[in-house]
Structure 1
Amino acid sequence: MLIREYGYRGAMCDAAPGPADVVAATPRPAPGPAVDPIALEPVDEVMVTTLVDNVYDALLPGDERTRRAGFDTGHAAAPQFEGGKTATGLVAEHGFAALVSVRRGDTTTTLLFDTGLSPDAMITNADRLGVDLSGIHGVVLSHGHFDHVGGLAGLAGRRGARTLPMVVHPLVWTRRRLAVPGQDMFELPTLSKRALNGEGFEVIERRHPSLLVDGCVLITGEIDRTTEFERGMPPAHQAWTGSGWEHDPLVIDDQALVVHVRDRGLLVLTGCGHAGAVNIVRHAQRLTGVGRLLALLGGLHLGGPAFEPVIPPTIEALTAMAPELVVPGHCTGWRAQHALAAALPEAWVQGSSGTTYRLSAA
C-alpha cells in the first residue's frame, strides 16, 4: 500500500485541547502552508460495504447503486426448527466498520475503514457475507474511540502471517473518559500501540493528509474546523493530559477517507464525523480541489441534545452541496436521519449492516 505524505497543517495540528473549551472549539483558519490541491487520482469505481452499523434491516430494498443483505446471509444450528437450523442474518451493534474497494482500470485495492465495537461482530458479518478479510491491503482508523477499533481483536486472527499496514492519527492512543454529572465515570477502552505492533500490524502515524493506493485514496488527517456551528463534544468528554483530565471537545484524531470517482465527484466516508460533516466535506474539497460532492457515508454524530441544534445548519449546508447519495449511519441519530430524509429524499438512503454501495465513473 503506497503511502504518500503531505506537509499540510490542519487547524490546531500542534496544540492539544486545553481548558479554554469555547476558544478551543472556535473555528479558525488553518495556520502555515497548505499543499492545495492534492492530486487525488480519479477511480473508475468504488464499492463501500458496511460490515458493522447500528442497524440491520433484512427487509430494506436495494436499487442500482445499493445491494442489501437479506436473511440468507447466515445460518446456525437450532434443533427447535425442522431441518435443525435457522437463518441468522447479520449483527448490528453500536459501532462502525466499512470495507472500501477502489478500482482503476484492471487494478482493485481493498481497505478496511474502522472495525466496529466488539471483537467478533465484524468478522462474523464478513464470514456471513463471504468477505475474505485476509485479502485486505490495509486498515485505516477514523479515530481512537473503542466503538471503531474493537474489531481489531478479531481481525488479528484473520490477517495471516503477513504484515498489515494501519494508518492512524498519532492521538489515536489518547486516554479518554465520559464524566457525565450524576453518573459513574466511564473510562473508554484505549488502544495499545505495543499490542498492535506485536500482532504484526505496521502502524503508520500521520497528522497530515496521506495518499494511499497509488494516489487513489486520501486520508484527510486533521480536519480544519471552519464552520460556526460544529463545535465538537460536550464537557463530559474528557482526555488525560498526563497530569489530569480536561475537556476534549475536538477529538483531534478524527479523520475521513476520500475517493474521487471520475467525472462525478468525491465520496467522503466518515467514522463518527466528530469534526462535523460540513467541516469534513469542505476540508476534502479544499484538499483535492474537487468541488463536487457525490456521496457522504458514515456516522455524522448528530444524535442527542448536545448535537441536535447542529442538525438544521448541517442540512442547509449539505443541501446546497446537492450530493447524489447520503447514507448517514452509526451515531447520526434518529432526528437527523428523519431531517436528512426529508431534505434530501432522492439522495438519502437508510444504512444497514451488510449493505454495499457502488459508485462508478460517468
Structure 2
Amino acid sequence: MLANVVVVVIATGVLFLLPDPPGTAGPSAPASAPGRQAQGAVPTPAPTPEPDLPPADLPQPITATPEFARQVKANEAGMVPVIMYHRIVKKRRASIDRTPDQVRREMERLARDGYVPVTAQEFATGRMDIPAGRHPVVLTFDDGHPSHFALDDAGMPVKDTAVGIIYQVAKKYPGFRPVATFWVNRQPFGLQSRADQARAVRWLSSRGFEVANHTWSHPYLPGLAKKGIAEQLVRVERMLKALGAGPSQTLALPFGAMPRKRSTVQKGSWDGTGFAFKAVFLAGAQPSVSPFAKDYDWRAVQRIQSNGKKGECRKWCSQYWLEWLDRHPGERYTADGDPERISIPRKLRGNISSKRRGQVNTY
C-alpha cells in the first residue's frame, strides 16, 4: 500500500508539470487573490434545473425493521469505495489520467452493480440516504480541471466532461444518482473570470454536487509551516464564499500528503478567517471504512485511484477493488433505506462507534 501511495504522489507531481491542452488553464495558473470587491460581488443566480437532466433527489425514507434489514442484506458497517479521478483526456499523458470512455465504462459498471453516488460531505456526515439494498460510492475529482465541468452553447454539460458523463450514465441507469465532489484550487475548472467561476460553482451546487477545498496552489503541505497551510486553505474558503458556495465541509490533500501535525489541516484560521472540516481525504489505496465504524478516522479518509490492474494498480486501484467487493459482498456497505437507523448483522454490533450505538438495528 505504501508503494502505491508513493506512486500516486509521483504521478500527481508529474501531472502538475504537464501542460494543459490549448485554451485551458490548470489549477496552478495565475489568478489574483479574491479581494474585497470579489467577496462582495453578487453571484450569478442559480439556474432552474433542466427538465432533461436527471435530478439528484433522494428517495423517501423508510423505517427499517430487523426483518427488513435482513431481507435487503443491509450492512452499514461495510466498506465504501471513494474513487479519485484527475484529468479526463482523450489521450492520457500521466498514469492517473483517464479517458472519457474509461470513466464512462467505470461508472456504468458501478450503476449495474447497484452503487449510488453520494458526495464526500454526505459520506462524512453519515447522510448516505440511498435506497435499501444499494451501495454508496463517492465520486471525487481533484484539481478543478477544465475536463471536469464545462457548459456548451446551450448551457448543458459538455459531453466528455465528468459532469457530462455522470448525467449520461444517470439517464441510462435511473438509479445512478448524478452527484459528485469537486475539490478545486484557485482557478476552478480553468475559468478565468470570477463571473464564469461563480456561474459554474452555483450551477453545480444547485444540482447537488459538492465544490470544496483542495488548497489555493496545490502545494506539498508537509513542506509548509502552520501559517502557510492555513493561508492555502483560507484563500480557497474566501474564494468559494465569493462564488456562492462553502464553507467547505471536506478537504482533499494535494498529493495525498499529510502534514506532520495533522491538526493543521483540520481546523484553524488565517487573517481573520477560519476553516473547519468534517473529513480530510487522502490519495490512498483502499476503500474507506464506514463513517459509522469505530475505526473510522475522519482525519485521514482513504480513497481509491480510478485505474485498471497494471503495475502498482494490479492490487490497489478501482478495478481491483470493485472486483474484490463483488467477490466479498458481506464486506461492502449495503444501505437499509432508513436515515435514522444503522442496520447491521448482529455479529458486527461491536464494530459500530459508541456514539452511534443508539441507532443500531441488528438482525
Q: TM-score, normalised by structure 1?
A: 0.30
More relative contact order, 1 or 2 (CA 8 Å, 6+ apart): 2
Larger proportion of strand: 1
